[in-house]
Structure 1
Amino acid sequence: MSDTLRPINRPRLYEQVVASLRDYVSSSGLRTGDRLPPERELAERLGVSRASVKQAIVVLEVQGLVEVRHGGGSYLLRDTLDTEPVAALVERRRRLPDVLEAREAMETKLAELAAERRTSVDLEAIEAALRHMSAEIEAGGIGMEGDRRFHAAVTAAARSSLLAEFMGMIAEQITESRAESLRQQGRPRRSLEQHRRIAAAIRAGDGPRAVSAMRRHVRTVSRVRLLTWEPADED
């Protein structure tokens, strides 16, 4: 029999709720900081169960689009609810632990080598990255470019061509992990402070302290909402 007759994949009900919420936010003119209607009201208006609404809200929370305040409702963190497909979230959730494991192994060594080999030019590049990230955050951003520049400057200061090559090979996955971390509430400023501690250790030429500071930072990066999310198979 021809394999063209395959099961049809239908959007899960909570994915349809996500799409409805996206359209609602767009049409109603809601903006960052505004509160979504209560889950019970959403369930009634959409004609679905509260469980489906709750699953949809969790998907939005995982993507850093809403903040759920226990007992206080759900609030927009962006002006829109432009979401990724759930399948993309599931795939990123699958590979993220391996990426973070690789980052910890390589970046702690890079920090140690940077403390031993850095030059005045390297230190200025590191400081410039810190200033850039601080400016991004003060302007209301999450510091993505400053974060990238900081880790790139540490990698350059380590002067290890092979480790730099390995970092380049997983650059796309590192960018994913960076975005996942920095969109957590309060994370940009915390990451900036951790970067400053890493930079201080490198500046002081203290390899063990640089290793410890970098390890603490990467483990903070690993604490993201996505990794505690359990995708619902069905409603």
Structure 2
Amino acid sequence: MAGQDKDHRTSRVTRARLYEQLMERILDFVDAEDLRPGERLPPERDLADQFGVSRATLAQALVALEVLGVIDVRHGTGAVLVYRPNATTLLRQLREHRNLMPDIVEARSTIEVKLAALAAERRTTEDLAEIDAAIEAMAREIDRGDRGVGGDERFHGAITQAAHSGVLSQMMDFLSERIRETRIESLGQPGRPQVSLEAHRAIAEGIRRGDPREAAAAMERHIAVVSDVPLLLDAEGRPDA
């Protein structure tokens, strides 16, 4: 009978643990369609219709898959499959990521606030030029509809360089991959790229003024905002936006 024999492309997801279920449905789709690494998933609008969820909810599930390295979301081409994990592996990686997130946020809020203060004290003319160039690069990315991940990474790298602290720079290198994960998660939130860009400008202004307190306070506010990423938390009971 119609409606009783639904395949993977039209089965709808329940609300409980929505992101986890949606990620599993996407993996089912990948397997059923026999997609290979390097091949693209259908457009977000089509996938949202197939799974019976909003595009905002689908986008959050795709960000989670991107953070875990399953897909690569490219501006202008959509989501490209990187590898095909099974559902058990995927959910284990997701939970491990959740457990590690608080430590990464704590490390960022400690190290990057200090880096901003040091940058205000030690920056050179060349450092300021690179900070400004990073802000401009992120603004261009956002203007063309991208999330600004590249410009964001360049900005924080410029702050690290401007601090001229070898030990803190090494610590940031050690954390770089995990910070990139939180960067993707944060900038995947609606409206977040522009908010981050404005925060970067405030941090840069404190550094330009040579005011370590202003720069550190602006960075602390920024880290607090970008660390507020609910999409990889337990989504049980959360509304389908």
State TM-score, norm by structure 2. 0.68
Q: How does 1:81-100 map to 2 (within 5 A)?
A: 85-100=90-105
Partner of residue 133, structure 1:
138
How far is the alpha carbon of 1:35 from its aligned partner?
7.8
How far is the alpha carbon of 1:227 from its aligned partner?
4.8
Q: Unpaired runs of 5+ in structure 2?
A: 1-19, 36-40, 65-76
1:17 aligns with 2:25: yes
Q: How does 1:74-153 map to 2 (within 5 A)?
A: 79-80=78-79, 85-153=90-158
Q: Structure 2 CA distance, aligned partners of 1:14 and 1:210?
A: 40
Partner of residue 36, structure 1:
48
Does structure 1 conserve the Cα–Cα contact (< 8 Å) formed by 2:63 and 2:184? no
How far is the alpha carbon of 1:97 from its aligned partner?
1.0
Q: Structure 2 CA distance, aligned partners of 1:32 and 1:18?
A: 11
Partner of residue 212, structure 2:
207
The count of corresponding residues between Structure 1 and Structure 2 is 194
Q: Unpaired runs of 5+ in structure 1?
A: 1-11, 43-52, 66-77
Does structure 2 conserve the Cα–Cα contact (< 8 Å) formed by 1:62 and 1:225? no
Q: 1:91–1:116: structure 2 CA closer, same or farther, 3 Å change rule?
A: same
Does structure 2 conserve the Cα–Cα contact (< 8 Å) formed by 1:116 and 1:205? yes
Give the partner amino acid of 2:43.
Answer: R
- Structure 1 segments of 4+ aligned residues over 4 angstroms from their partners: 12-16, 20-24, 32-35, 57-60, 78-84
RMSD: 3.4
Q: 1:101–1:59: structure 2 CA closer, same or farther, 3 Å change rule?
A: farther
- State the SS of the aligned residue for 1:170: helix
Q: Structure 1 CA distance, aligned partners of 2:23 and 2:47?
A: 20
Deviates more, 1:78-87 or 1:203-212: 78-87
1:61 aligns with 2:60: yes
Larger radius of gyration between Structure 1 and Structure 2: 1
